Each structure stands twice: as C-alpha cells, then as structure tokens.
C-alpha cells in the first residue's frame, strides 16, 4: 500500500488548479521524500489507477485503456509494438529517457537525458510523430523545439515530474511581484530544463534563460552579466550546488518557500541575497545521503562515488564527483575495468550500467531506492495503445504547448543554446 499520509501531502494540482490560499496542504511537496512511491506497486493486477488516486495525483488525466493491454503476455505486446513501429517506419521516432525501465527502452530509437532527447526530436524533421517515453515537461520541450508538423505523444498523461510541478506559474509570478514590491530589480530568472513550459516562458519574458545540469555554471555566468541577482527554479539543490561552485556563500543565498510570506525570509535577507533558490526538489535525488556514501566507502574501500547535482549539497560535497546523467554515464564508461562505482541517481539507469559493464562493480548508493515514480508510469501497454491509434490515423495524448507560451519559452531556450555554443573558458 502507498503511504496515505505521504500521498495526501503530495497532491498534484494542474496548472489551472486552486490558488495558494485555496490549497488544503500548506506543506505541499515539502513532506518527507517518497518512501513508498506508487512506482513500487506493480502497474497492473493491483489496481494501479486506484493507487495513483491514493497517492494524490489528480485529477486523473489519462483515460483508462482496456485491461487487455496489461494482461496480454509481454512477448505478444512487445511483438505488436515492434510490428507497428516497423509499419510506421520513418514517420515515427521513439525516444527513451535514461530513467525508463528496460521494457520501454528496448523500443527506443534514441536514449538520452531530457535535453538531448528534445534536441533529437527536433532533428528528426522527417518524422511526423514522436512517442516520448519520458515525462510531461520533456514532451513539452520536444513540442517547442520541434517543427510545426511534428506531433509529440506522451504514452501516459500521468507521467509528470514532481519537481517540475513544484514551481507553478502563479506562485512564481507572486514571488516575482514580492521582489518588485520591495523595489528589488536586476534579478535574472533561470529555470532548469526540468520545469513546465509555463516557467520557461516566464523566464523568456523576464530576460531569463533555461539551463541543464551540464551547463548551469555557464548559464550563471551569463545571468550575472545581465543582472546583479538570480532566481533559480525549480530545484533548490542544483541551484545551490551551482552557486556554491561559483563561490557564493550560504548567507548570499536564500530559499524561497512559495507558501510563506517573502518566501519565509526577512526583508533584510531578501535585500541582501544574490541568489534566490526556489524550494523544490527531485524526489529521487533528494533521497541520497552522506550516510549512504560513508557506508559505501566502508564496504568498498576502493569505491568512487558519483552523484547527480540534484542531490543535496552535503551529498555532492561528500562524493568524489558529480555531474549530469550523461556525464555519469560517460565517466563510468571511460573508467578502467575492475573499478567500483557507487552511483547517486535513478535506479533504472544504474541497473542498466551494471548490465552493460559487468567488468566493473556498479551499484546504487541507496539500496532500497524505487524508480522515479512518474517515469515509471510509462509502460509498454500505453505505448501499444498509442501506436494502435496512430496506425489508424488517430493521435492520442498529443502534448501541444500554447503558441504564446511556446514563443516565450523559445526565447529562454534560445538564450541557453547561444550560451552553449560559446567557447568554454576553463
């Protein structure tokens, strides 16, 4: 059973949902990280939809699909997906995020992190359809970056991202207004790729920019060339880790809690801050701890610890190295045979690395970690359902960003691409 109290605290509202005042849970998203996420419950045979309801993901957006998609033997479902993929040929691109389970990845034409996959989708200009096996904000980015004729499909609409959902447009606007009311200007907004199109558009409108976990440091440099302060959305930890690397001290950063006046800070703290960090986190990466690193080192004296920068700062500082998902893969691939790696990122990726590199010892820092619960909502059953509609010329679950939002978001994305194209000064 999913933990009901955690479930309640993690209620997800659609972007058109109630305002801050109307919400029943002041500490929305700030509850303990997921201990028994819905992902740990098998998707079928146990009433997955009811589990998702219990977990507080609502309102349910994904239409029910016939149970036969779940009950048919795996080999039959897989064969049907491969056959439809063949039939659709170049008209279809299937993208698989690194955190997807192997049962999904087996169908992917391309694997990557969120940014690489969005770029990949945009480059497949001949493809009419992109079946994006990732989460909602990624499909939005693919739609924004893609050509007008390309249709992006998310196999299960309930595959959101808890971190992205922690920064809602109206809350971000309210925080921005609070700063303006104090006469604080010169603030450059930066949003992590893992955010909604609405937040990317906010950044585009306000002279801001998007970043990834790979280019956050360079984007910070850009921001301070264009302003005196920055506001980082929605991941407090990536924002803090990057600022710390740039030499900012803890008292130059404030965390902005959208449920508290002035984000939970005094006026003096706000006026003195150089970096505002939105209070959001990734429920997967926030679970890693220094104790886990100490245990790994005690049990494997030769271990090297590598973690994602969405981890808390004490974890990143205790690790031997940190970097984006692509960086983690590259480092471990390039490591000599016989080396030992403790990895602080999503379990499906860690398990895949273990399988691909049996000559190395690779394990997840958290021995009991569950997969990213929202990534896990992509299941081959939904892929088959979507493809069977596509072959009949019916597009289901298309992710289409409002053109005005897409235009503003493109401004912020283009600024990031410009920064990435500039030669890096080391």
> Could you list the residues that contact ligand SF4 (CB under 6 A)?
99, 135, 161-163, 194, 282-284, 346, 372, 374-375
**Residue 348: CB minimum distance to ligand SF4, A:** 10
Q: Which is nearer to ligand SF4, 118 or 265 (CB)?
A: 118
What distance in Å separates the CA atoms of residue 315 and residue 296, rounded to the nearest whole number?
A: 13
**Residue 124: CB minimum distance to ligand SF4, A:** 22
Question: How many C-beta neighbours within 10 Å does residue 81 have?
Answer: 22
**Residue 72: CB minimum distance to ligand SF4, A:** 28
**Residue 371: CB minimum distance to ligand SF4, A:** 9
**Residue 285: CB minimum distance to ligand SF4, A:** 6
Q: Which is nearer to ligand SF4, 242 or 265 (CB)?
A: 242
- Which residues have a Cβ under 8 Å from the Cβ of 426 and sit 6 or more positions away? none
**Residue 249: CB minimum distance to ligand SF4, A:** 27
Q: What is the dihedral of CA 80, 83, 89, 93, to 10 degrees?
A: 30
Q: Which is nearer to ligand SF4, 7 or 161 (CB)?
A: 161
What distance in Å separates the CA atoms of residue 352 and residue 347, rounded to the nearest whole number?
A: 8
- Which residues have a Cβ under 8 Å from the Cβ of 280 and sit 6 or more positions away? 29, 163, 166, 167, 233, 234, 235, 236
Q: Which is nearer to ligand SF4, 284 or 409 (CB)?
A: 284
Q: Which is nearer to ligand SF4, 229 or 377 (CB)?
A: 377
User: How far is it between the farthest Cα atoms of the chain?
Assistant: 64
Contact 213, 316 (CB under 8 A): no
Q: Which is nearer to ligand SF4, 117 or 187 (CB)?
A: 117
What distance in Å separates the CA atoms of residue 95 and residue 333, rounded to the nearest whole number?
A: 22
Tell me how far the alpha carbon of residue 362 is from its chain's centroid. 23
Q: Which is nearer to ligand SF4, 372 or 413 (CB)?
A: 372
**Residue 306: CB minimum distance to ligand SF4, A:** 16
What distance in Å separates the CA atoms of residue 237 and residue 423, rounded to the nearest whole number?
A: 26
Q: What is each CA distance from 77 to 64, 342, 361, in whole angstroms? A: 18, 35, 33
Work out whether strand 340-344 and strand 209-211 pair parallel, antiparallel, or are unpaired: unpaired
Tokens standing for residue 362: 């690779």
Is residue 124 classed as helix, strand or coil in its secondary structure? Answer: coil
Long-range contacts of 43-48 (CB under 8 A, 24+ apart): 43/70, 43/376, 43/377, 43/379, 43/381, 44/70, 44/71, 44/379, 44/381, 45/70
What distance in Å separates the CA atoms of residue 404 and residue 318, rounded to the nearest whole number?
A: 43
**Residue 422: CB minimum distance to ligand SF4, A:** 27
Q: Which is nearer to ligand SF4, 187 or 370 (CB)?
A: 370
**Residue 388: CB minimum distance to ligand SF4, A:** 26
Q: Which is nearer to ligand SF4, 88 or 158 (CB)?
A: 158
């Amino acid at each position: 059973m999913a933990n009901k109290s955690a479930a309640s605290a993690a209620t997800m509202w659609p972007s058109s949902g109630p305002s801050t005042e109307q919400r029943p849970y002041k500490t929305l998203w700030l509850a303990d990280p997921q201990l028994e996420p819905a992902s740990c419950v098998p998707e079928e045979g146990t009433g997955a939809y009811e589990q998702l309801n219990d977990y507080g993901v609502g309102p349910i957006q994904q239409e029910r699909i016939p149970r036969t998609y779940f009950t048919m033997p795996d080999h039959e479902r897989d064969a049907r997906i491969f056959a439809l993929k063949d039939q659709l040929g170049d008209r279809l691109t299937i993208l698989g995020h690194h955190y997807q389970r192997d049962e999904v990845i087996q169908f992917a034409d391309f694997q990557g992190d969120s940014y690489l996959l969005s770029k990949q989708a945009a480059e497949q200009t001949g493809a009419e359809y992109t079946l994006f096996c990732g989460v909602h904000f990624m499909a939005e980015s693919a739609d924004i970056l893609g050509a007008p004729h390309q249709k992006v499909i998310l196999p299960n609409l309930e595959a959101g991202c808890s971190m992205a959902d922690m920064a809602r447009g109206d809350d971000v606007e309210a925080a921005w207004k609070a700063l303006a009311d104090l006469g604080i200007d010169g603030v450059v907004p930066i949003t992590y790729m893992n955010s909604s199109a609405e937040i990317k558009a906010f950044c585009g409108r306000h002279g801001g920019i998007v970043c990834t976990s790979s280019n956050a440091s360079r984007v910070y440099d850009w921001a301070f060339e264009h302003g005196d302060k920055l506001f980082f959305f929605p991941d407090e930890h990536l924002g803090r880790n990057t600022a710390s690397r740039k030499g900012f001290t803890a008292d130059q950063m404030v965390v902005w809690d959208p449920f508290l006046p002035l984000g939970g800070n005094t006026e003096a703290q706000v006026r003195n801050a150089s970096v505002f960090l939105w209070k959001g986190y990734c429920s997967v990466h926030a679970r890693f701890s220094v104790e886990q690193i100490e245990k790994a080192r005690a049990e494997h004296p030769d271990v090297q610890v590598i973690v994602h920068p969405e981890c808390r700062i004490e974890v990143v500082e205790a690790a031997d190295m940190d970097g984006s998902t692509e960086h983690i893969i590259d480092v471990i691939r390039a490591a000599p045979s016989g080396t030992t790696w403790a990895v602080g990122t999503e379990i499906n990726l860690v398990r895949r690395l273990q399988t691909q590199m049996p000559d190395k010892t690779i394990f997840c820092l958290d021995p009991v970690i569950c997969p990213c619960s929202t990534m896990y909502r992509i299941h081959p059953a939904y892929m088959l359902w979507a493809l069977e509609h596509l072959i009949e010329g019916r597009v289901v679950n298309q992710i289409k960003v409002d053109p005005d939002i897409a235009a503003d978001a493109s401004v912020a994305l283009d600024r990031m691409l410009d920064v990435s194209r500039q030669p890096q000064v080391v």
